[in-house]
Every structure is written in structure tokens, then in C-alpha cells.
Amino acid sequence: MSSQTASKLFSPIDLAGRTFANRIVVSPMCQYSAENGIATDWHLMHLGMLANSGASLLILEATAVEAAGRITPGDLGLYNDENEAALARVLTSVRRYGNAQLGIQIAHAGRKASSQRPWEGGRALRPDQDPWTTYAPSAIPFAEDWHTPQAFAARDFERVRNAFVATAQRAVRLGFDAAELHGAHGYLLHAFLSPLSNQRTDGYGGGFEGRTRFPLEVFDAVRAVWPTDRPLGFRLSASDWIEGGWTIEESVALAKILKQRGCDFIDASSGGIALGAKIPLTPGYQVPFAAQIRREAEIPVMAVGLIVDPKQAERIVAEGEADFVALARALLDEPHWGWRAARELGGEIAYPPQYARAAPELWPGHKFQEESSVMD
């Protein structure tokens, strides 16, 4: 690639001493297609497709640390030997044929657990749908007609913290290249951070220090077992978008603390703590959060949220707003988005050998595609 066409989006970057070929990340996307937490052939097909999307890192969907931490009955889990064995089978094939490095998002759904799959309504499970007990910092339902969660008791802190650690250890055994803790979208760790969901009066509630205490305990415990040569990050909802909720200023402050404790990156999302938040769904609407965290906390960040166009992604990285761009539905819509981005931006990607003959220098159809696009 000549210097004249050099693309920042397709430049390599090191995290925790591990090199990623470009700045494109497949964001975690729940598939709701597991069986008792066990990965299925759907995961093999889904991940196999995205492992050749052109992204340098593919992060698996939110993966529950215990059965009660699943969002839905179809959530992926990594809390027992069956879960681990099934995921090992999937990962073996994905690694054999895919080009992306693999990450995992370690999660607990908290008060948003025990819900229906989105295509089944997305509400709390009805009594006839085998609901389970949910847990949260305070006994405050996520929304009207949702389960009232059980407020964390002393035994729950140790149990859930140990569950995060056990899942992280399983992920290490499975050879994941990176991991992030899910502290966003209203799930358990975020519920501790936000004053809208955390109204405890003990040392785990109240001001910023109390509300961040348990998420930091979880991070420290996972950091202790996660290898230092594999990136470990934290996904934040940088703002609740609701007055009186968690703020971008608090996100910056937490990111600074996480960095001091060995966090390698922040995945900056937003929202999800409650229904009714007014969120402006415009292209790149969350990128300013990533940029502010990167600038003020001086930590590598991933930007997410309606990043669709390759030139938009290039600008985000080139202008220093983020170190990575993480795409979700854009890659479901166009699984080889990275291939198109490389063509448009003058970048280079690794094609699987079975598809190499579709590369621009080998397939004349690209010329006709470009001519058709100009004529349109």
C-alpha cells in the first residue's frame, strides 16, 4: 500500500503487546440462539461468517457468567463444562478458517435477565415461560411489568464476583485473544454504576465511590486471572441519557481508575438503563463519548453506534476520536464490509484463500461494479 493511499483505519495497532491488523472490530451481538447457555451450529455459522469480514477483532456476544445472568433463555453462557466444550468446538472451526482474532464479552444481565427473545416480544418472561430470579443492586424493576429483582445480599457479591472470575478462566483456557467486561446497557455492572438503578445505602451505593465499588472489584478479580499479554477492556454506557443518571464525566473518571488498575481499553457505548431515554440516533451519535474518554482519560477506546460508511470510520480514527471502530448491524447487513472499506480507502485485508479470486486484482467484476456506481 503506497503512502499516498495509506489508511488509518487499515493501520495496525498494538494493545497489551498484541498486534491487530486494522482498527475494525465486530461488536458483540447477542444471537439468542444458545441452548442452556450452550453454543449451537448457529454460532458456528454466524461467527464463521464474521471472522472473514475484514475486521481484525471479532468479539463474541454477551456471555453469561451464571445461568441467572442470561438476558434470555437463548443467551450464550460460559459457566459450566458443557458450555466450555461446545464453545471450544465452535472456536476451533472459526480459528481454522477465519482471519480475525477472537474476543469475548463477559456479562451478567442483572435486572434485565429472565426476558423473552426480541422476536418473542422482548418483555419479561411470563409465569408460564419458566422465569428465574433476577438480581440487582436494588429491588427496582427495569420497567413496568418487569420482574422485581432481588437486591444483592452479602453472599451475592462473592458469588457473582467469583462467577466472573471462573468465566474469565474458562475464556483463558479457550484461548481468547481479548476480553471485555460488560458494564453497559443496563446490565448488572451498569446497574451498580447508575444512581437510577442503584439506591443502596451501604458501601456499594450512594456517591461515585460506592456505586463504582462492585464493578471495580469485579474488574480487579478478573484482571488478576487474565493474562497481561491479552487485552482486557470494559464496556461502558458513557451516559444514561436521562437526567439524574450516569454521566460522561463519571465515565471519564471511571476510565481513569480502570486504566490505573490495568484496563487496556474502553468500549464506549451509551444508554440502556431505563426505557424512555431520548437518544438522538444519528450517524456516529456515540463517537463524541469515545473521543472525550480517549482525550481525558488517555486510554485506547472503541467507538460504536451507527458507524456505517467506510469514510466515516476512516475519519473517526484519522482524527483521533477513537482507536477502533466497532460495527454491529452494518456487518450483519454486509458481512464483507471490511472488504469494501479496503477497496474504497486503499487498505489491505487478508482474504481467505478460498475467496482470494474475488479480490480486486483478480476479479474484473470490480471494474464493472465501479462503472455501474458512477453511472448511477
What single-letter amino acid sits at 361? E
Q: For residue 348, count other CB atoms closer than 10 A to its CB.
A: 14
Return d(Cα 264, Cα 20) in angstroms, integer. Answer: 14
C-beta separation of 164 from 170 below 8 A: no
What span, in angstroms and rounded, lies between the C-alpha atoms of 109 and 159?
15
Helices first, then strands: H and E counts in the chain: 11, 12
306 Rama sector, left if φ>0, alpha if ψ -120 to 50, beta otherwise:
left
DSSP string, 303-336: E-SS---HHHHHHHHHTTS-SEEEESHHHHH-TT
**77 contacts 106 by C-beta, under 8 angstroms:** no
Contact (CB, 8 A) for 111 and 241: no
Instruction: Retrieve residue 11's grid coordinates.
Output: 493501520
- Give me the residue label for grid cell 451498569: 190
CB 285 within 8 A of CB 304: no
Which sequence positions are flagged as catalytic?
A: 187
CA distance 177 to 261: 20
- Using alpha carbons, list the distances in angstroms from residue 87 to 92, 108, 160, 186: 9, 18, 21, 26
CA dist 271 and 234 (Å) reads: 15
Cα-flanking dihedrals φ and ψ of residue 139, to 5°? Answer: -80, 60
Q: Give residue 85's identity as a one-letter amino acid code.
A: A
